[in-house]
Amino acid sequence: MNVVIIGPAYPLRGGLATYNERLARAFREAGDEVRLVTFSLQYPGFLFPGQTQFSTEPGPADLSIEVSINSVNPWSWWRVGEQLRREKPDLVVFRFWLPFMGPALGSIARRIRRNRHTRLVAITDNVVPHEKRPGDRPLTRYFLKACHGFVTMSRAVLADLRRLHFRQPAQYQPHPLYDNFGALRTKQEALQALGLDPQFGYLLFFGFIRAYKGLDILLEAFADERLQQLPVKLIIAGEFYEDAAPYEALIQQHGLESRLVRATDFIPNEQVADYFCTADLIVQPYKHATQSGVSQIAYHFERPMLVTDVGGLAELIPDGEVGYVVKPTATAIADALVDFYQHQRETEFAAGVWARKKQFSWSEMVKALKQVAVD
Sheet holding 149-152, edge to edge: 65-70, 33-41, 2-6, 91-96, 119-124, 149-152, 170-172
Domain coverage including residue 221: 187-359
pLDDT (tens digit, 9 = 90+) per residue, 320-359?
Answer: 999 999 999 999 999 999 999 999 999 999 999 999 998 8
> What is the 3-class SS of 316-339, one letter each residue?
HCCECCCEEEECCCHHHHHHHHHH
Residue 165 confidence class, pLDDT cut points 50, 70, 90:
confident
The predicted pLDDT at position 129 comes to: 67
Residue 14 confidence class, pLDDT cut points 50, 70, 90:
confident
How far, rounded to the nearest angstrom, does the alpha carbon of residue 369 sit from its chain's CA centroid? Answer: 18
Claim to verify: residue 12 and residue 140 sit in the same structural domain: yes
| CATH number of the structural domain spanning residue 280 | 3.40.50.2000
Distances (CA, A) of 124 to 101, 255, 274: 12, 41, 30
Claim to verify: residue 69 and residue 192 sit in the same structural domain: no
Claim to verify: residue 329 and residue 368 sit in the same structural domain: no
pLDDT of 230 above 80: yes
Claim to verify: residue 163 and residue 274 sit in the same structural domain: no
Claim to verify: residue 286 and residue 143 sit in the same structural domain: no
Extended strands (E) in the chain? 2-6, 33-41, 65-70, 91-96, 119-124, 149-152, 170-172, 201-206, 232-237, 260-263, 281-284, 305-308, 323-326
Q: What's this model's pTM, rounded to 2 decimal places?
A: 0.80
Q: Is residue 102 part of a domain?
A: yes
Residue 194: CB partners within 8 Å, gap ≥ 6?
261, 274, 275, 278
Q: CA 91, CA 253: separation in Å to the nearest integer?
A: 54
Q: Is residue 78 part of a domain?
A: yes
Residue 250 confidence class, pLDDT cut points 50, 70, 90:
very high
Q: Is the torsion defined by CA of 208, 72, 90, 35 positive or negative?
A: negative
Q: Is residue 182 part of a domain?
A: no
Residue 99: CB partners within 8 Å, gap ≥ 6?
129, 133, 135, 136, 137, 139, 140
Residue 323: CB partners within 8 Å, gap ≥ 6?
281, 282, 304, 305, 306, 307, 317, 349, 352, 353
Claim to verify: residue 132 and residue 278 sit in the same structural domain: no
Q: CA 348, CA 354: separation in Å to the nearest integer?
A: 10
Claim to verify: residue 246 and residue 352 sit in the same structural domain: yes
What is the average per-residue pLDDT within 3-17?
A: 93
Q: Is residue 181 part of a domain?
A: no
Residue 135 confidence class, pLDDT cut points 50, 70, 90:
confident
Q: Are 236 and 264 in contact (CB under 8 A)?
A: yes
| CATH number of the structural domain spanning residue 47 | 3.40.50.11930
Claim to verify: residue 41 and residue 140 sit in the same structural domain: yes
Paired strand residues for 119: 91
pLDDT of 50 above 60: no
Q: Is residue 171 part of a domain?
A: yes
Q: Domains in the chain: how many in total?
A: 2
Claim to verify: residue 148 and residue 260 sit in the same structural domain: no
Claim to verify: residue 91 and residue 11 sit in the same structural domain: yes
- Of 28-37, 79-88, 285-294, give the lowest mean pLDDT range: 285-294
Claim to verify: residue 14 and residue 32 sit in the same structural domain: yes
Paired strand residues for 237: 206, 263
Q: Is residue 241 part of a domain?
A: yes
Q: Is residue 45 part of a domain?
A: yes
Claim to verify: residue 354 and residue 367 sit in the same structural domain: no
